[in-house]
C-alpha cells in the first residue's frame, strides 16, 4: 500500500495551551463577558431584546463560555452569533438546523442554541424544521419572527399576512401565511412555545424552560422590524393598546389537539407553551445504539474491531 501523502502533524502551530481551571476558581460570567460585537440591527429592532435576554439566561444559569454554541443561518436575526462571546457559527440560509444537529448529535456536553428568522425557519429551511422536530434532536431554536424579509429590505415572508404590501407584493400579499404553531404541532416538535420580544419576563421564562427541555424546543418570538414592518405586533403589546393573551392556565400542554386549537386563534393569538412532551431524543436513541454495538464488540480497540471485520472478508 502506498503511504498517504500527508502526515498527521497537527497544525496546532503557535497555540499556547493553558492549565485547566476548576469551576470554583472561575469568576461567574457577567453580561459584559458574554457580549461581543455591537449588534448591527436598526435602533428599536425587537432582536435586541432577544439578545439581551440570552445574555441574561447564560448569566443566570451560570453557563461557561465554552459550553454554549450559538448557530444561525442567514437574515437580520441570524447575525446573532457575532454578538455573543462564545463559540459561534454563522451558516448558510435555511440550514442552521441540520448544522446544529451535527453539533448536538456529536456533542452531548454542549447547550446548542439556534437563532433565526421566519425566512430561515419556514421558507428556505422549512423542511429541516419538520425533520429536526420529528427526530427530536436536542437543541433550542428561537425563531425571531418579524413577518417580513428585513435583511434584503422588505420582501414578502412566509408569515406575512395576506394584504401586506412589500416590494415583491406591491399590490398586497396574496399567499396564505404559515401558522408556525400548527406546523410545529404537526411536525412533532416536543416543546412548542410562543412569546414576544416586548415581554422580556415572559421571553426569558420561556427560553429557560426551552433550554431545560430534553428534546427539540422551539420558540416563535414575535420580534418587530421597525424599519420594514413597524407596528406589526402592536396588537400583542399592552403598551401599544394591544393584549398579551397568555395560554389559558387550564391548557393541557400534552394534548396535541388542544395545542392545535390554540394555534387557530386569530392574530395576535396566545402566548406561552402550546405543547410539551417527553419522548426519547435522537441523541438518546443514537447513544443506545452505540452502547448496544459497543457491548457486542467488548474491550477491543478500534483497529481490532476493523480487523475482526476484515477477517470475514478474506
Partner 1 sequence: MSESTEAAPAEGSSSKISPITEAVIRIAGNSQDGIQSIGGFLARLAGRSEQEVMTFMTIPSTISGGPSIFQVRIGSGEVLTAGDEADVLLAFYQHSYEKHIDSLKDGGVVLYDSDHVEPNDEWRDQYHHVGVAITSLTVEAIGGTARDKGKNIFALGLIANTFSLDVDKLEILIRERFRGKAESITVNALNAFHAGYQYELGNVLETFRFHDSEQRTRDQLVMTGNEALGYGLLAAGVRFGAGYPITPWSDIMELLRRELPKYGGTFVQCEDEIASVSTAIGASYAGRVAVTGSSGPGISLKTEALGWAIMAEMPLVIIDVQRGGPSTGMPTNVEQSDLLIACYGGHGDAPRVVLAPQNVEDCFTTAIEAVNIARNYNVPVIILTDQAIATRIEAFDEPDLKSVCQDLSPTFDAVAEHQPYDLNHQSGTPQHLPPGTRIASGKYPVVTGLEHDEAGHPTASPKLHLQMTAKRRNKLRDLATTFPTQEIYGPPEGHVLLVGWGSTMGPIREAVDRARKEGDSFSAIHIRHISPLPNGLEEVFAGFSHVFVVEMNDEGLYGYGQLATLLRSRYCDRKIRSITKTDGLTFKVKEILSRSRALIQSP
The only residue of 38, 170, 249, 309 in contact with partner 1, by rule CB under 8 A: 309
**125-184 binders of partner 1 (CB under 8 A):** 127-128, 130-131
Longest CA–CA span in the chain (Å) reads: 78
Q: Which is nearer to partner 1, 95 or 245 (CB)?
A: 95
Q: How far apart are CA 169 and CA 93, in angstroms?
A: 22
Least spacing, CB of residue 31 vs partner 1, in Å: 13
CA distance readout (Å), 176 to 4, 98, 160, 162, 163? 56, 27, 8, 6, 10
Asked if 37 touches partner 1 (CB under 8 A), the answer is yes
Q: Which is nearer to partner 1, 137 or 258 (CB)?
A: 137
> What DSSP character marks residue 35?
B
**117-136 binders of partner 1 (CB under 8 A):** 127-128, 130-131
Least spacing, CB of residue 214 vs partner 1, in Å: 18
Q: Which is nearer to partner 1, 64 or 267 (CB)?
A: 64
Note whether 276 and 191 are within 8 A (CB): yes
Binding mask 268-287 for partner 1 (x = CB under 8 A): ------------------x-
Note whether 57 and 79 are within 8 A (CB): no
> Exposed (0-12), middle (13-18) or buried (19+): which is 208, by Cβ within 10 Å?
middle
Q: Which is nearer to partner 1, 201 or 312 (CB)?
A: 312
Note whether 63 and 55 are within 8 A (CB): no
Asked if 66 touches partner 1 (CB under 8 A), the answer is yes
The only residue of 162, 230, 264, 289 in contact with partner 1, by rule CB under 8 A: 289
**193-212 binders of partner 1 (CB under 8 A):** none
Q: Which is nearer to partner 1, 10 or 249 (CB)?
A: 10
The only residue of 30, 31, 36, 240 in contact with partner 1, by rule CB under 8 A: 36
Least spacing, CB of residue 38 vs partner 1, in Å: 11
CA distance readout (Å), 241 to 234, 236, 238, 267? 7, 8, 5, 15
CA distance readout (Å), 137 to 30, 105, 180, 188, 271? 29, 7, 19, 11, 24
**88-117 binders of partner 1 (CB under 8 A):** 88-92, 95, 97-103, 105-107, 109-110
The answer to whether the peptide bond before residue 279 is cis (omega within 30 degrees of 0) is: no
**206-265 binders of partner 1 (CB under 8 A):** none
Q: How far apart are CA 92 and CA 55, in angstroms?
A: 24
Cell numbers at residue 62, please? 451560570
The helix (H) or strand (E) run that includes residue 296 is helix 282-297
Question: How does strand 191-196 pair with strand 270-276?
Answer: antiparallel
Q: How far apart are CA 110 and CA 288, in angstroms?
A: 19
Q: Which is nearer to partner 1, 115 or 270 (CB)?
A: 115
**1-20 binders of partner 1 (CB under 8 A):** 1-2, 4-20
Q: Which is nearer to partner 1, 102 or 163 (CB)?
A: 102
The only residue of 176, 201, 239, 314 in contact with partner 1, by rule CB under 8 A: 314
Amino acid at each position: 500500500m502506498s503511504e498517504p501523502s500527508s502526515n498527521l502533524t497537527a497544525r496546532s502551530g503557535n497555540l499556547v495551551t493553558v492549565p485547566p481551571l476548576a469551576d470554583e476558581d472561575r469568576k461567574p460570567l457577567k453580561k459584559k463577558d458574554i457580549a461581543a460585537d455591537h449588534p448591527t440591527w436598526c435602533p428599536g429592532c425587537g432582536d435586541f431584546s432577544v439578545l439581551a435576554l440570552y445574555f441574561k439566561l447564560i448569566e443566570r444559569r451560570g453557563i461557561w463560555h465554552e459550553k454554549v454554541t450559538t448557530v444561525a443561518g442567514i437574515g437580520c436575526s441570524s447575525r446573532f452569533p457575532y454578538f455573543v462571546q462564545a463559540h459561534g457559527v454563522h451558516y448558510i440560509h435555511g440550514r442552521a438546523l441540520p448544522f446544529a444537529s451535527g453539533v448536538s448529535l456529536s456533542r452531548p456536553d454542549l447547550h446548542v442554541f439556534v437563532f433565526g428568522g421566519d425566512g430561515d425557519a419556514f421558507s428556505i429551511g422549512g423542511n429541516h424544521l419538520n425533520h429536526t422536530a420529528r427526530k427530536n434532536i436536542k437543541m433550542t431554536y428561537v425563531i425571531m419572527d418579524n413577518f417580513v424579509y428585513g435583511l434584503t429590505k422588505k420582501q414578502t415572508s412566509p408569515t406575512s399576512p395576506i394584504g401586506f404590501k412589500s416590494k415583491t407584493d406591491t399590490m398586497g400579499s396574496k399567499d396564505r401565511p404559515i401558522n408556525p404553531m400548527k406546523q410545529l404541532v404537526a411536525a412533532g416538535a416536543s416543546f412548542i412555545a410562543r412569546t414576544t420580544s416586548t415581554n422580556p419576563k415572559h421571553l426569558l421564562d420561556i427560553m429557560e424552560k426551552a433550554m431545560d427541555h430534553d428534546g427539540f424546543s422551539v420558540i416563535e418570538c414575535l420580534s418587530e422590524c421597525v424599519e420594514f414592518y413597524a407596528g406589526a405586533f402592536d396588537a400583542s403589546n399592552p403598551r401599544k393598546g394591544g393584549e398579551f393573551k397568555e395560554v389559558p392556565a387550564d391548557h393541557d400542554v400534552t394534548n396535541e389537539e388542544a395545542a392545535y386549537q390554540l394555534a387557530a386563534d386569530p392574530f395576535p393569538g396566545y402566548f406561552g407553551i402550546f405543547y410539551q412532551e417527553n419522548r426519547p431524543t435522537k441523541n438518546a436513541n443514537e447513544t443506545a445504539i452505540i452502547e448496544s454495538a459497543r457491548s457486542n464488540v467488548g474491550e477491543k480497540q478500534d483497529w481490532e474491531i476493523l480487523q475482526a471485520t476484515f477477517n470475514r472478508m478474506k
